[in-house]
A and B are shown apart, each in its own frame.
Chain A
Amino acid sequence: MDKPLAEKVSELIKKQHVHMRPKAYFVFGSILLGVGLVSSLLVAVFFVSVIIFRLRVNTPFAYLGNQAGLTPFLENIPWAPIIIALIGVTGGILIMKKFDFSYRHAFLGISGGIILSIGVLGIIVDTAGLPEQAENIHPLQPFMHMRYENDSWVSGTIIQTQPELLFVGTPSGSQFTVFFDSGTNIIPNTQMRNGEWVQIIGERQDSQFYAEEIMHRATPRRDPGPFPMNMEFEQEFEGN
């Protein structure tokens, strides 16, 4: 006949085949879980701010109005920060699910709350100017690196305007002579001024660029917010 369950379990414990895990094991586990959660959320917030910063400076969606705009659009989307932010958000939500309180509330509500909070905090961090500061931190540079030129597009600041001619400098230091004529689509169709930010689609030949479409607007904010930053780029153009 089978032994009673209580007896079987007791026997196993008595023979020391079963050991209770020490309290420290659980304390350490909880600390790790907390650290993991905070780290995931911080990573997500920071990279959301980087995404906002890069979209704000590069405005890749502006290229989509042009037939040839798909390539510059895809090349200006901050893919790496988007992927890392998604990993951070997903990790944060998965870790949050491990906490005791989480199942009492609807999963969608918790996930929505986390995503919304990360978005709002990302905007705050971007407004504070932290991504601009991070551009100067070496390990973060691969994620901050923005492209300003390729064979079919260029973006930068107008250094000088002449009839049917623009001199444009990119933040990475390149300078282009941009030719345009009455057939060039200028958006908005107003006079372009020195210091404005331009996104140009066309054809590049060395340092010359033949524009099909020019989008111009006020220079995107690259100020440091409350944080100090390297102002070389701005000073360089002020000197011009």
Chain B
Amino acid sequence: MADFDSLTDEELVEHVRSKDQEVYSELVKRYEARLLRYAHSFVHDNHAAQDVVQNAFIKAFINLNGFNTKKKFSSWIYRIVHNESLNEIKKYKKEFSLDSMLESSLPISDDSMEDAFDTQISKEKISTCIDKLPFTYRSPIILHFLEDKSYEEISDILRMPIGTVGTRINRGKKLLNQLCNDHG
């Protein structure tokens, strides 16, 4: 089998589309672990996360000819997983109401807390507190701090203006800082 490591995601997509559909598994391998982690942060269940990511990869394959190779494949596939995850958790509407209750009960602290955030809270700690974060802020925070996505990529994944991404990350950081401190 040919070595596809040197190819970019977008070059692989082109190869799958025009030459060999089996090569699609290379793309699945590249993103499988990251997307499972991302889906798990929404659905909190390994099997549900597996289903979400599998469905996302199948949908991506079906629509692969609609993908613009001038754009990032990673943003596109994250977007599909994000939508699939939302569909999954829509089955559990209670989660949304819990989120809104939590959001309204948390006062936003001052800017000095934000500065402390970057230095004091580790990725590990973020992972433990993040589930308590309101849904609005959870996705941008996960994508930025756990998936190392840039604001522009997050804008592409969540389909929102870059300015909104920045605002949500900043507010999310403040809330997260408070949540992490409150809960040890």
Interface string of A73-111 (1 = CB under 8 A from B): 000000000000000000000000000100111100000
Within the assembled complex, what's the spacing in Å between the Cα atoms of A45 and B155? 32
Assess whether A25 is in contact with B65, with CB atoms less than 8 Å apart: yes
Closest residue to B26 on the A side, CB-wise?
A6
Option from A10, A19, A106 in Cβ contact (under 8 Å) with B22: A10
User: B61 at interface (Cβ–Cβ under 8 A)?
Assistant: yes
> Size range of the interface on A?
20 to 34
User: A20 at interface (Cβ–Cβ under 8 A)?
Assistant: yes
Assess whether A23 is in contact with B65, with CB atoms less than 8 Å apart: yes
Within the assembled complex, what's the spacing in Å between the Cα atoms of A6 and B26? 8
- Count residues of chain B with CB under 8 A from any CB of chain A: 29
Within the assembled complex, what's the spacing in Å between the Cα atoms of A105 and B162? 8
8 A Cβ contacts from A19-68 to B: 19-23, 25-26, 29
Closest residue to B162 on the A side, CB-wise?
A104
Within the assembled complex, what's the spacing in Å between the Cα atoms of A5 and B26? 11
Within the assembled complex, what's the spacing in Å between the Cα atoms of A178 and B64? 73
Assess whether B62 is in contact with A12, with CB atoms less than 8 Å apart: no
B residues near A9, Cβ cutoff 8 Å: 24-25, 28, 54, 57-58, 61
User: B80 at interface (Cβ–Cβ under 8 A)?
Assistant: no
User: B120 at interface (Cβ–Cβ under 8 A)?
Assistant: no
A interface with B by C-beta (< 8 Å): 2, 4-10, 12-14, 18-23, 25-26, 29, 100, 103-106
4 closest A-B pairs by beta carbon, nearest first, are A103-B159, A26-B66, A6-B28, A6-B25
